[in-house]
Amino acid sequence: MILVNLIPYTWLHSFAGLLVRILLPFFPGARKRVEENILHFKPDLHPDERRKFVIRNLTHTLRVTLEVFQTGKFRSKKFLDRYIEIADSYSIDVLKNRSQGVIAIEGHFGNWELPILYYHHYGVDIAYSAKHLKNPLVDRTLEKKRQGYGGKLVYLSQSSRFIKELKRGNVVGLVADQDAGRNGIFVDFLGRPASTYTGPAVLSYLAQADIVLATCLYQGKGRYRLQLKPVHSGSDNSQYAHEEEAHLKITQRWSQVLANEIEKVPEQYFWVHRRWKTKKR
């Protein structure tokens, strides 16, 4: 991390591309997983184009990792305003409306860490989720980094706190597109059944909270564009016959909105993770 912070921020993309080309032969599993996922998403993609896609995708993923190492630079208002562009007034005003809580969902898409710093910069009171990592050293290091973002870091084991935050009119940030195993529900995601966490839908139903999708997409030269899009209104929860129906339909809704955004710039999705690991019986 110390060495990475010596690299100018705008060089990180090129540096990540160089590292990918050097290290790729030593990590065949990552390359194979991306290729397998892309074959499902774009089955007609020519093998040469598929190889280029893998390089671009892994370069993006590694750059995002390196950017996390440099998030200290984004605590500067000048630096933050220079490299993160807000798409429209809705994308910040909806979070500053304290009349009701808002659930801001992200996927492993673009850079999902930077929005927390931007929200805090604009005075948005946000509680955001995380899960502990298996490697304790990496877990402690990342926890220390995230605690410097501002806002409230809440681990999934403490998820009951989210209801309290929403009832206070605060924002809850969730990265919700991991494989949920047998505890999730299956919805369509990028053309395949995917086990998905019901947490966002449960919170929305219980707290009558709106759901928005947040994306922070790379624009080149270190710059990002942050945008929020409406997904679900908490006032619509009464239309469902029962709670289970609400969970299913709300989960399918936000998953589809996220998938629509990924289809526009698929190279910025985290294809290396095992999103479809759990198979539908």
Tens digit of pLDDT for each residue in 88-107?
A: 999 989 888 777 789 999 99
152 by Cβ neighbours in 10 Å (0-12 / 13-18 / 19+) ranks as middle
Residue 97: the pLDDT is 79
How crowded is residue 140: how many other Cβ atoms within 10 Å of its Cβ?
12
Q: Give the confidence band of 192 by pLDDT, cuts at 50, 70, 90.
A: very high
The C-alpha atoms of residue 105 and residue 175 are separated, in whole angstroms, by 6
Cα atoms found within 13 Å of the Cα of residue 146, Cβ hemisphere only: 19
The helix (run of H) or strand (run of E) holding residue 221 is: none
**220 has pLDDT over 90:** yes
Q: Which residue, among 249, 98, 112, has the nearest Cα to 174 in the 3D structure?
A: 112
- CA distances, 102 to each of 97, 105, 110, 123, 275 (Å): 9, 10, 21, 15, 25
- The pLDDT of 114-124, averaged and rounded, is 88
The band of 141, judged by pLDDT with boundaries at 50, 70 and 90, is confident
pLDDT value of position 234? 85
Higher pLDDT, 39 or 2: 39
pLDDT of 41: 93
Q: Which residue is associated with the tokens 């190889």?
A: 51
- The contacts of residue 109 (CB under 8 Å, 6+ apart) are 177, 215, 217, 258, 261, 262, 268, 269, 270
Say if residue 156's pLDDT is above 80: no
Q: Count CB atoms within 10 A of the CB of residue 35.
A: 17
Residue ranges with strand state E in 125-249:
126-130, 152-155, 171-175, 185-189, 192-196, 210-220, 223-232
* pLDDT-based confidence at residue 155 (cuts at 50, 70, 90): confident
Per-residue pLDDT, 211: 96
CA distance 94 to 177: 22
Pairing of strands 185-189, 192-196: antiparallel
Give the model's pLDDT for residue 88.
94
- Give the predicted TM-score (pTM) of the model: 0.93
Q: Please say whether the beta carbons of 60 and 262 come within 8 A.
A: no
- For residue 69, give the H/E element and its range: helix 47-69
Closest C-alpha to 62, from 28, 6, 21: 21
Q: How far apart are CA 2 and CA 70, in angstroms?
A: 9
Q: Which residues contact 161 (CB under 8 A, 6 or more apart)?
A: 127, 152, 154
